[in-house]
Chains A and B, each alone.
Chain A
């Protein structure tokens, strides 16, 4: 079994606490309009490195003792849940913590073995409701994603990703919840309410609000964002709203 790797960042300070090695897998199950790593979306492995667990461990070991753990991001790491179980078991033997940066669009029963060996999740709430179809599940700009259509029902109607968040919170496996804020795709007040409802029993877990930006996007993606980028004032307003809904730890990035 091999893991398709888009890129490895030896020292990262923004993917969970402390200095960590960040591993970006190739391949995603969704297609967000604002994706800044859109080259990691296709499950096209012709130009990426394929690593065995042993090879991954060698890469990670080279960064010790300067790191306290690894964070797998992407792409969507949970697509590779079987591989990651072995990787995390090996990393744990070396005293490293193992984090996953996920969009929450997974079947928790299917990946439960991975969840058990994951120390923490960085959990992106992409939104709720029908807007997700357009924002994350469309084939807009990428024609090779048939799987995205399958997501629609499970996540726009039954909100399975929010149940996943609830489940991970109950296991004490959430490090932070993130929301990329853009206007006009979802009702931000409702999204904040949903998140606040989940976090109410976990006052120490922070919500990070990230203002969407178009810097570095492909031109067609940048065009799709036109008119949807919130002002700094909007972000501050959302921050206040989140406080008023009872979320106690909030960071926002302008």
Chain B
């Protein structure tokens, strides 16, 4: 969306934004003061579909000067240091953690905060000498990140192998109960020990992280990668230039039939969005001088050959529900076999367009933009009609097992990331084997990514990132809050009621048989 002078006045006079949030918002507005027609060469037709809200650019900006997501190879620092920041290679844990914190403050992204801070256990483990003393350092390091990287799209990875550092990180995460960093365990039951998986599952229940990624599956699709931001699987030492999304719940309202949607409108809007994305990639590579000037590129932390871009969807459930109604069925997505059929026809139509299109500057992913299941946003009235990703609408969830099977069938479309979340009851904390069994079952069924959290905790996962419910209440009371993601969480809960996901509980079965 283009910005205007009024936006600047609103930001500068806001009583609830912190200084830093105002600064970053002003920078974002300035990128959107310039028309994309002028600077990126968008056509009138492309503009029409942005303005009618079918295509959403997530306010990414038009005067682009950095890739949206950057996934640095922090091993470069461990091995060679960083000459731009005048850092020698670290010789001990203190230097390692200190150097990483310094680098983090110089890693750009769409939020101006790093969306990937490394495979932390692999980076740290070689420097561990004394578990007790090093634990204190690791905990302090993680707390420092939470208070200075005030955006919970910041993501750390651990696993798949169990390490001392990995265990200490999980212990610290459970004690700190902080939203940031977001965290994923790259899980592979052939590589990850059962004990480490159970520890991660416990942490995920208690503090909503780490989530579990199906490491073998993502490695097959994306090769050498990392999980960053919400749950984006992106090429390692690279990232993604841009993310644009189709609002399927909005698009569907313009058609009279399923056939019109999948044979005419979706192919048309998909082609327009692919063209828009190519223009964005091209501008960053050819015009912004990012790769020529940025130290991460100059020193080998990233290479432009390792970038892709993300073609995302939201609102599959809303689109399907609309069409079910059109067909005279009183059913909803997630509880309807016809709904599943329609959902797959929609996704296959989009997938066909995305796979047929040769994209610009994305040779790393076979010149293809990667499909992504976007977790939603609150940028426009239309976002109320677009449930996150391919998720079932909150309130319309099927039983746990049916839900797992239903969503598993949709994960395959999204090589650059998707995931489902389940709110579990307290009994699972004492029965972690059950949680890991469910995760193993989900991955065997085609899941890419899963999060299981306890419904009654303060720290919860909104859609792909974490917020504290207590902080959201603060924000709703018009008070300044540290993290920008608290604002996103508030908006997403207003639209999608994500705090009220169905609790998966068992009956109180005291076996007095």
* A interface, CB within 8 angstroms of B: 9-15, 17-20, 22, 28, 32, 34-37, 40, 62-68, 73-76, 101-103, 122, 124, 178, 180, 210, 212-213, 215-216, 253
Q: How far is the CB of B506 from chain A (nearest CB, A)?
A: 6
Most A CB contacts (10 A, CB to CB) among B400, B404, B506 go to B506
Q: Which of B300-308, B322-330, B368-376, B425-433 contacts A (4 or more CB under 8 A)?
A: B425-433
Cβ-defined contact, B511 with A122, below 8 A: yes
Known interface pairs A66-B442, A67-B441. Does A124 touch B434 (Cβ–Cβ under 8 Å)? no
Q: Which of A28, A102, A103, A216 contacts B508 (CB 8 A)?
A: A216
Contacts of B440 in A (CB 8 A): 65
With both beta carbons as reference points, the residue of chain B lying nearest to A17 in the complex is identified as B433
Cβ-defined contact, A12 with B509, below 8 A: yes
Is the C-beta of B293 less than 8 angstroms from some C-beta in chain A?
A: no
Cβ-defined contact, A73 with B511, below 8 A: yes
Q: Which of B399, B442, B445, B511 contacts A15 (CB 8 A)?
A: B511
With both beta carbons as reference points, the residue of chain B lying nearest to A251 in the complex is identified as B430
* B interface, CB within 8 angstroms of A: 399-401, 404, 427-428, 431, 433-435, 437-438, 440-442, 444-445, 504, 506-513
Known interface pairs A65-B444, A66-B437. Does A74 touch B401 (Cβ–Cβ under 8 Å)? no
Cβ-defined contact, B509 with A9, below 8 A: yes
Q: How far is the CB of A250 from chain B (nearest CB, A)?
A: 14
8 interchain residue pairs of minimum CB distance: A66-B441, A13-B434, A13-B431, A19-B437, A19-B434, A65-B441, A65-B444, A18-B433
Contacts of A75 in B (CB 8 A): 513
A18-B433, A18-B437, A66-B445 given; name 18 further pairs at CB < 8 Å: A9-B507, A11-B438, A11-B504, A13-B431, A13-B506, A14-B427, A18-B434, A19-B437, A34-B512, A36-B509, A40-B513, A65-B440, A66-B441, A66-B442, A73-B509, A102-B513, A122-B511, A210-B512
Contacts of A210 in B (CB 8 A): 510-512
Cβ-defined contact, A37 with B513, below 8 A: yes
Q: Which of B433, B441, B508, B510 contacts A64 (CB 8 A)?
A: B441
Most B CB contacts (10 A, CB to CB) among A14, A67, A76 go to A14
* Bound-complex Cα distance A236 to B501 (A): 37
Contacts of B438 in A (CB 8 A): 11, 19, 66
Contacts of A124 in B (CB 8 A): 511-513
Contacts of B427 in A (CB 8 A): 13-14
* Bound-complex Cα distance A15 to B431 (A): 10
Contacts of A11 in B (CB 8 A): 400-401, 434, 438, 504, 506
* Bound-complex Cα distance A36 to B512 (A): 6
Q: How far is the CB of A121 from chain B (nearest CB, A)?
A: 12
Q: Which of A62, A67, A73 contacts B437 (CB 8 A)?
A: A67
Q: Which of A36, A65, A103 contacts B510 (CB 8 A)?
A: A36
* Bound-complex Cα distance A17 to B194 (A): 14
* Bound-complex Cα distance A68 to B508 (A): 21
With both beta carbons as reference points, the residue of chain B lying nearest to A211 in the complex is identified as B510
With both beta carbons as reference points, the residue of chain A lying nearest to B440 in the complex is identified as A65
Contacts of B444 in A (CB 8 A): 65
Q: How far is the CB of B212 from chain A (nearest CB, A)?
A: 14
Most B CB contacts (10 A, CB to CB) among A9, A32, A65 go to A65
Q: How far is the CB of A43 from chain B (nearest CB, A)?
A: 14
* Bound-complex Cα distance A11 to B441 (A): 12
Q: How far is the CB of B216 from chain A (nearest CB, A)?
A: 16
Cβ-defined contact, B400 with A76, below 8 A: no
Contacts of B434 in A (CB 8 A): 11, 13, 18-20
Q: How far is the CB of A75 from chain B (nearest CB, A)?
A: 6
A-B contact pairs, 13 of them (CB 8 A): A10-B399, A11-B438, A12-B509, A13-B433, A14-B427, A14-B511, A17-B433, A20-B434, A35-B512, A66-B437, A66-B441, A67-B437, A101-B513
